[in-house]
Chains A and B, each alone.
Chain A
Amino acid sequence: MSNLLGKRYQCAACGATVLITKAGDGQLTCHGEAMEVAQAKPLPSSD
């Protein structure tokens, strides 16, 4: 399973967030569970 560049993965148990700065294979886990891709927060461009 590959992790996507620039995506954030979050742990449902503790809220820890990981930002993917280099794409690669593997499964991110935290508290024994696979971390889920966090949804983007839409925010208007301010600059």
Chain B
Amino acid sequence: MNIAMLLEMAADGFGDRIAMGGHDRSVTYAELRWQATAIAAALAAEPQTVALDGELSALVPAALFGSAWAGVPYAPLNYRLPPASREELVRRLAPVTVAEEAWLALPPDPGRTFPDDPELPAVLLYTSGTTAEPKAAALRHDQLTAYILNTVEFAAAAEDEAVLVAVPPFHVAGVAAVLSSTYAGRRMVPLPHFAPEAWLRLARDERVTHAFLVPTMLARIIAAMEADPALRAPSLRHLAYGGARMPMPVIERALELFPDTAFANAYGLTETSSTVCVLGPDDHRAALAAGDPAARSRLGSVGRPVPGVELRVVDGEIQVRGDQVSGDYLGNGPQRDKEEWLRTGDRGRIDEDGYVFVDGRADDTIIRGGENLAPAEIEDTLLRHPSVAAAAVVGVPDEEWGERIGAMVVPRDGDTIDAEELRGFVLARLGTLKTPEVLVVVTELPHTPTGKVLRRAVRADLSQPG
């Protein structure tokens, strides 16, 4: 099934609902369908990949569905990269054309049909590459539609529902947001430039009911709410988060600040067409209420696999398979094994009730004197210190131990951090083995554009002599 079918059904079923925009300036699902047919008609003469080089706007759903309608791949680019890097990424996609704002004004082609070749690539996403050069993951029509049909019920959204989309279009969650909102019939409210105050104001003014955030965004929203009690999102019913590991202290505070909001932790990869595991709202509240530390620790879990996905742990590494799982890269064959399992590169475990815990990227494991240490536990402990706003822990090359523990920390606004005092704080809780040997205070952690800590940059910085 072509992902264009999701839009066709939406336009037939609830065409007058707003697809994207505020109540003042918006496009309906029926209009979005006509835009898609118009773009497909324009592409028909010379079919080629459609690159999108821009932030979230009405052009994003139109280019995504227009490409699908034409049967060509859609490739959203990281518009924050320098022009020379973007030109290189575009060149690698050739033959390619770059989507333009003017496409939204092209004449519709109501009779135009879309191809039904489920194995065609629908979306090409350059993965963020926190440890390596970017490569383009290819997601096929059948993989994306499998994800949507297994996790979203058609027209499930109530008429008043609106989702605030703050992730950029080149993130898999940005693609998934368009597809699931379309199939559910939910209005998308775009926030192209994330700032915590702007997010809270837009959520209030547009009566936003749903949102997805990466952990760094949620941490900044919490800080803004604590600084200004007038900044609240009263209509927010459902908050999903994912894209990177959520520190325990952040989610605990979020549950206190949003007492009436249902939380969902979504774990997935670009290569798996977004979410493969979800920790749902009831699990969050039960874990928060639990006195038993084991039950409470479930807040740090990513929940259980979504329908249609199988998950296992082999030698400490999480593997997944299912109809939505790709793992193909442009110019490279499938990365799945003969039984269709995809290695995620994430270390993890499954508890006796089937809850999955992700301990971090396998590459991020610190090996100190033969001892394997996960940065997650040390980062969470650093974050429990009242003066610490953000923390990243990495392995720093060391002649004697192979690696030593290096930490980069950011103080809260107006606070200072005494490195020795902070090391003592960790030492008292985790012991010498897990106490950072190098600890540097900075004003900001290096991040990828989608909010993941750029660990290779942290590692490079902490590895500098002196």
A interface, CB within 8 angstroms of B: 5-7, 19, 21-23, 40-41, 43-47
Contact = CB atoms under 8 A, between A and B. Distances in A.
Counting from the closest, the 10 A-B pairs by CB-CB distance are A6-B154, A46-B266, A47-B176, A44-B264, A46-B275, A40-B153, A44-B280, A5-B13, A46-B240, A47-B177
B128 to A, nearest CB: 17
A44 B262 contact: yes
B254 to A, nearest CB: 16
Contacts of A47: 173, 176-177, 180, 212, 240, 242, 266, 274-275
Nearest to B180: A47
Most buried by A among B9, B212, B306: B9
A12 to B, nearest CB: 19
B185 to A, nearest CB: 9
Nearest to B238: A45
B269 interface: no
B238 A44 contact: yes
A20 to B, nearest CB: 9
B277 to A, nearest CB: 9
Contacts of A6: 9, 13, 153-155
Contacts of B156: 40
29 contacts: A6-B153, A6-B155, A7-B154, A21-B1, A21-B5, A21-B8, A22-B12, A41-B307, A43-B151, A43-B153, A43-B278, A43-B280, A44-B262, A44-B264, A44-B281, A45-B180, A45-B240, A46-B266, A46-B274, A46-B278, A46-B306, A47-B173, A47-B176, A47-B177, A47-B180, A47-B212, A47-B240, A47-B274, A47-B275
B278 A44 contact: yes
A22 B113 CA distance: 14
A39 B95 CA distance: 44
A12 B240 CA distance: 35
B17 to A, nearest CB: 14
B57 to A, nearest CB: 19
Contacts, number: 64
Contacts of B12: 5, 22-23
A46 B180 CA distance: 9
B141 interface: no
Contacts of B152: 43, 45
A47 B171 CA distance: 12
B149 interface: yes
Nearest to B13: A5
Nearest to B209: A45
A23 B153 CA distance: 16
B451 to A, nearest CB: 15
Interface in B9-41: 9, 12-13
Contacts of B321: none
A10 B278 CA distance: 26
A1 B176 CA distance: 34
Nearest to A23: B12
A45 B210 contact: yes
Given A44-B280, A45-B210, A47-B176, 16 more contacts: A5-B154, A6-B9, A6-B153, A6-B154, A21-B1, A22-B12, A41-B307, A43-B151, A43-B278, A43-B280, A43-B306, A45-B163, A46-B240, A46-B242, A46-B275, A46-B306
Contact of A19 (B13, B149, B212): B149
A40 B153 CA distance: 7
Contact of A46 (B5, B13, B151, B154): B151
Contacts of B280: 43-44
Most buried by B among A5, A19, A41, A44: A44
Contacts of B307: 41, 43
Contacts of B177: 47
A40 B261 CA distance: 23
A27 B184 CA distance: 26
A46 B238 CA distance: 9
A36 to B, nearest CB: 17
A5 B278 contact: no
Contacts of B278: 43-44, 46
Interface string B256-268: 0000001010100
Contacts of B210: 45
A29 B214 CA distance: 45
Contacts of B8: 21
A46 B9 contact: no
A43 B156 CA distance: 11
Contacts of A7: 154
B244 to A, nearest CB: 15
